[in-house]
Structure 1
Amino acid sequence: MGIGKLKIIIFTGSALAIIGLCFILFSDSLGTSLADGWIAQYDYPPKVYEHKVEANTNKFLVIGGILFATGMSSILFVLYTLMSVKSDKD
C-alpha cells in the first residue's frame, strides 16, 4: 500500500471514530429529540414515549460504538502497517 492510501485510511478512520464518539456522548439528547419528533406526529401515552426514548438512545449507543470501534481499528491497522514497513527498511 502506498503512503497516500494509508493517509486516506487514517483520515477516514479518524472521521468514523469522531462521529462514533459524538453519537456515544450525545446519544441521550439525540434519542430524546427523535422520540419528541415521533410523539409530536402520533398521540401515544407517556409509557410508550419512555420506551421510544430508551430505544432511540440505545440505537445511537450501538451505532456510535460500531463506528468508534471501526475507526480505531483502521487507525491501529495503519499504524501497525507503517511500523512494520519502517522496521523492514532498517
Structure 2
Amino acid sequence: MTENQLKWTGFFVTVIGVVGLVLIFFSVDFGTSLADSWVAKQGGASTERYHIILESYIHSFLIAGNILFGFSLLFAIFTYFAFMLLPKR
C-alpha cells in the first residue's frame, strides 16, 4: 500500500468509527423515535408490545454500532502496522 492509500484508509476508518460511536451513544434516541413512529403507524399498541418493540430497536442500533466500531478498531490496527512497515523514503 502506498502512503496516500494508507491516509485514505485512515480517513475511512475514522468515519466508520465515528458512525459506530454515534449509533452506540444515541441508540436510545434512535430506537425511541422508531418505536414511536411504529406505534403511530399501527394506531396504538399495548404497553408490553411497545416495550418489546422499543428494546428491539435499541438493541439493533447497539449491535450495528458495535459492529461498525469494532470493524474500525480492527482496521485501524491493520492500518497502523501497515504504515509502520511501509519503507521510509
TM > 0.5 fold call: yes
Q: How many residues align?
A: 88
The answer to whether structure 1 residue 33 and structure 2 residue 33 are counterparts is: yes
What residue identity is the alignment partner of 1:9? T
Amino acid at match of 2:21: L
> How far apart are residue 11 of structure 1 and its match?
0.6
Partner of 1:73: 74
Encode CA deviations 1:39-83: one digit per residue, 9 max, x unaligned. Answer: 000022111110011000000000000000111111111111111
Give the superposed CA RMSD: 1.4
Find runs of 4+ consecutive structure 1 residues off by over 6 angstroms. Answer: none
TM-score (norm 1): 0.91
**Identity percentage of aligned residues:** 32
Q: What is the match of residue 9 of structure 1?
A: 9
Q: Retained in 2: the 8 A contact 1:14–1:72?
A: no
Unaligned runs of 5+ residues in structure 2 are none
